[in-house]
Structure 1
Amino acid sequence: MRIQTLFLHAKQENRFFRVSNRANKAAGVKKVRFHDLRNTHATLLLEVGADLKKCTCLHQNNW
């Protein structure tokens, strides 16, 4: 399984959150924190059989 990471430029990141917050509000969904998305992503990777070490490396706080 090949896993790629996506790093967003600060402008792109701000736009992502503006758009997602607007979509959440329109859908009646509570605000989602970035940390929640990271946890969900890690859980889903492990559920489909990703290697724990690779998953850990992807989710380090290295920025």
Structure 2
Amino acid sequence: MEALPERTRNALGDIDNYVDVIVSQELSAWQSAWFASFVEYDPSPAIAALRVPVIALFGELDTQV
């Protein structure tokens, strides 16, 4: 946070409160049923069953790939 420009820090308001809110939101997302199913899903059988041409793109910076 200290590395952020002063203008950005000021826009965030109380930094401790901002961090608490972000952490709470992230924990809620990680504890959701959707996230659990996303992590547990194995696409291998569905991909192996495909009988049509497929283009697969890889996004190195995509955290969900």
User: How high is the TM-score relative to the length of structure 1?
Assistant: 0.31
User: How high is the TM-score relative to the length of structure 2?
Assistant: 0.30
Greater length-normalized contact order (CA 8 Å, ≥ 6 residues apart): 1
Higher helix share: 1
